[in-house]
Amino acid sequence: MTSSRRPALILFTVLTMVTLLPRALAAEPPALPAVSASNPLLSPSALPYHLQPFAQIKDEHFLPAFELGMAENLKEVATIAANPAAPTLDNTIIALERSGEMLDRTSMAFAILTGSLTNPTLDKLDSDLSPRLAAHNDAILLNHALFERVKNLYDRRQSLGLDAESARLLERYYKDFVRAGALLSEADKTVLKAMNAELASLSTQFKQNLQKETNADAVVVDTRAELAGLSDGAITAAATAAKAAGHEGKFLIRLTNTTGQPPLASLTNRALREKIMAASLARGSHGGETDNRTVITSIAKVRAERAALLGYANHAAFQLEEQTARSVDNVNRMLAQLAPPAVANARREAADMQAIIDSTGGGYQLAACDWELNSEKVRLARYAFDENELKPYYELKHVLEDGVFYAATRLYGLTFKPRPDLKGYSPDMVVYEVFNEDGTALALFLGDYYARPNKRGGAWMNAYVPQNGLTGDKPVVANHLNIPKPPDGQPTLLTHDEVKTMFHEFGHALHGMFSVVKYPRFSGTTVPRDFVEYPSQVNEMWATWPEVLKHYAKHYQTGEPIPQALLDKIAAAAKFNQGFKTTELVAANIIDQAWHQLKASEVPGPDGVIAFEAAALKKHGLDFAPVPPRYRSTYFSHIFAGGYSAGYYSYFWSEVLDAHTVEWIKTHGGLTRANGDRFRALLLSRGGSREALDLFHDFTGSDPDIRPLLVRRGLDAAH
């Protein structure tokens, strides 16, 4: 997942905004508020690559920096709008691209910390600022005088003699203004502003509710005996977490943001497994201040109303217009193609597990809480392969430096130098300077890999400093994961999925680091949502590429390479459990589309949220209790607080492109500099400066084909 979009002007979304109360842009620019000169957010960082000076940034610095940044931004925009000279690309569009520097800087630092190291003060500020930022964005995008200048240029675009990237920039700005409501009447603009402010507040509330509830619903375990099946390290970590939470002498199982919980793959105590799964599924739906059902229905209704105001059938239609999928029908068609074979595979997998349960006298019917544990039993029986065998070979630093970085060196000629002199916001973070093969500096890379109670769930990439051809800024990118931190002195041993996630997120990082565009509007991962996951999913292929795997998969104690016999088992089991994995993802996609293809009048009330979700799954044949959706509505932060509304299908859509590309790379030599250089030059470096599918076609020489995806997931022969 990526969260690297430039957080200013046109690229603000109502989900990531922080701004002032609405102000009309008058001929007289607003006065700038007074702010202490000691505030580190007021000027560019003096650190290498303008890395944020996290050690100097205090909570109290944000509000005044936002106030000044927004006022300064409005002053810049007012000057552009009132310019008596005829509109030109330089004095209007590029001037807008250059505006909002302080607001960008402040917004990025704030987004980083509220996502990864939040606290009650920052949460309160986030809630207060969200609607104000929405209003600030509207004050720009709904300014009639400013839009007239943009429209003037757009109407004359064929006669301006623009280069391709500049022409695309002008086109994108015009579309951004129109999609933001620039063509509406003044009365409708007022209504739209209120909707945007409300959505910003609701999304922030959803995010904060979920984080509080996920922490509050952690499962307290009384005795060590109940944790049978967990490793000693995991038990020690649970004891440490319990002590920190005030449960001395007990054990605490923290919840991750997904429905499935990692301990379920190991715990032999079924009662505890049931308790953990029940806690996970109930998040946000069992009453109290953090119940998200009212928030969800409010968001869905306002999004539907806003779409109608802007002339769209529903929110999904509005969102998909700008994606490579283009239409609701195309997304629905893809999901309909995936759902039946996925569920058929999942049911066969369930039958295999039930046979194991029955043959060992388990005495119970397979349920969601039992899937991970029993799927491992089937894997062991079928492939003589226990995933726990892999963990000693997957130590975090080796995976990063000898795996993720090694693949990047082989493909792109990159080298990585630790920079212990540069710090992130947590002492656990790592910082590397990245160099091209010729020794020229490329970027900074930061890694924040461990879970914390004040860090949002999941994994994501941020561009802390996006590449900018106008200013010459080089990129600073970071990967964030939620790997449980082991006790002091113990190694961080990863699951196979965590290894794949490290390669995935580094694919986003490469997309950001390789960016070579002129305009920040197109920098790095600023591409359609259903394209952004594509390069990162391609990068996952190197996690199991034999040469790369052998290079990093070495026993953390002995240094012995992973045995060939185990590598063979990994390859043989590649399609194992894909029915489950595909079904849980398709189910989440159906939930996303169900909410966002509604008209406002069709949105159920808070008490109907769970029933609505169940009906949507049943309609598509996905009402299979042992495989619940990867996210239920009440904790589906991607779509209600993370920018993926009506867009969670992006992972599947991107995987169509990814699977096709992987096959192309395999047939053209695999892990070679020629392939890496081609991918970098034709796709990774271009950001959003060209149409996304044109970039795909440039690299592969063909149109997307879903067949490689079906083969990869074992769905090609399902029936």
Residues annotated catalytic, as ranges: 505
Whether the pLDDT of residue 28 is over 60: the answer is: no
Query: Most confidently modeled of 168-182, 233-247, 382-396?
Result: 168-182
Tell me how far apart the alpha carbons of residues 505 and 449 are, in angstroms, rounded to a whole number.
11
Distance of CA 93 to the CA centre of its chain: 29
> What is the predicted pLDDT for the residue at 8?
36
Please compute the mean of the pLDDT values over residues 418-432 and round it to a whole number. 97
Rounded mean pLDDT of 109-130?
95
CA–CA separation, 37 and 458 (whole Å): 37
pLDDT at residue number 574: 80
Kindly report which listed range (92-106, 369-383, 464-478, 569-583) carries the lowest average pLDDT score: 569-583
Percent of the chain with pLDDT over 70: 95
Tell me the backbone φ, ψ of residue 383, rounded to 5 degrees.
-120, 5
Beta-ladder partners of 251 = 221
- What is the per-residue pLDDT for 9? 41
d(CA 279, CA 464): 35
Q: For position 573, what pLDDT does the model report?
A: 83
Residues 511 and 524 sit within 8 Å (Cβ to Cβ): yes
Collapsing DSSP states into helix, strand and coil, what is residue 442? strand
Give how far the C-alpha of residue 190 lies from the chain's centroid of Cα atoms, to the nearest Å: 31
Q: Is the pLDDT of residue 700 over 90?
A: yes
Q: How confident is the model at residue 34 (pLDDT cuts 50, 70, 90)?
A: low
- Would you tell me the crossing angle of helices 578-596 and 293-309 to the nearest 10 degrees? 60
- The yes-or-no verdict on residue 30 having pLDDT over 90 is no
Residue 51 CA to residue 108 CA, distance in Å, equals 11
As a whole number of Å, the CA-based R_g of the chain is 25
Question: Which residues, in sequence order, are bridge partners of residue 480?
Answer: 448, 460
| pLDDT score for 37 | 74
Burial of 120 (0-12, 13-18, 19+ CB in 10 A): exposed
User: Which residue reads 């842009």 in tokens?
Assistant: 25
Q: What average pLDDT does range 40-54 have in this prediction?
A: 97
Give Dmax over CA atoms of the chain in angstroms. Answer: 84
Query: Vertex 520, ends 679 and 129: CA angle to 5°?
Result: 125
Task: For residues 89 and 638, give the distance between their C-alpha atoms in angstroms, rounded to a whole number.
Answer: 36
Instruction: Give the architecture (CATH level 2) of 9-183.
Output: Orthogonal Bundle (1.10)
Three-state secondary structure of 127-187: HHHHHHHHHHHHHHHCCHHHHHHHHHHHHCHHHCCCCHHHHHHHHHHHHHHHHCCCCCCHH
- In 3D space, the residue among 533, 679, 583 whose CA is nearest the CA of residue 346 turns out to be 583
The yes or no reply on domain 391-572 and CATH 1.10.1370.40 is yes
Average pLDDT over residues 389-407: 96
- Quote the CA–CA distance of 154 and 171 in Å, as a whole number: 7
Q: Which residues pair with 462 in a beta bridge?
A: 478
Residue count (the chain) = 719
Cα angle at 43 between 42 and 46, to 5 degrees? 140
- The string of pLDDT tens digits covering residues 136-154 is 999 999 999 999 999 999 9
| pTM over the 0.75 mark | yes
Residue located via tokens 């006669």: 159
What's the pLDDT band for 354 if we cut at 50, 70, 90? very high
Q: Which amino acid is at 685?
A: S
**CATH 1.10.1370.40 residue window(s) in the chain:** 9-183, 391-572
Least-confidence region, from 25-29, 186-190, 690-694: 25-29
* pLDDT tens readout for residues 649-684: 998 999 989 999 999 999 999 999 999 999 999 999
Q: Identify the CA nearest to 298 among candidates 632, 605, 598, 637.
A: 605
| C-alpha span between 158 and 2 (Å, rounded) | 34
Mean pLDDT of the chain: 92
Whether the predicted pLDDT of 463 surpasses 70: yes
Contact criterion met (CB below 8 Å) for 447 and 427 = no
Band of residue 26 on the pLDDT scale cut at 50, 70, 90:
very low
Q: Mean per-residue pLDDT for 349-359? A: 95
The two structure tokens encoding residue 130: 């969200």
Comparing 443-447, 571-575, 610-614, 657-661, which segment has the lowest mean pLDDT?
571-575
More confident residue, 305 or 495: 305
11-32 burial code (b ≥16 CB/10 A, e <16): bbbbbbbbbbebeebeeebbee
Condensed to tens digits (0 to 9), the pLDDT of residues 481-494 reads 999 999 888 999 99
Dihedral, CA of residue 347, residue 349, residue 353 and residue 355, to nearest 10 = 70
| Structure tokens that stand for 598 in this block | 């509604």
Sign, Cα dihedral of 451, 453, 458, 464: negative
- Each residue's pLDDT tens digit, 251-299: 999 998 899 999 999 999 999 999 999 999 999 998 899 999 999 999 9
CA 532/CA 205 separation, integer angstroms? 26
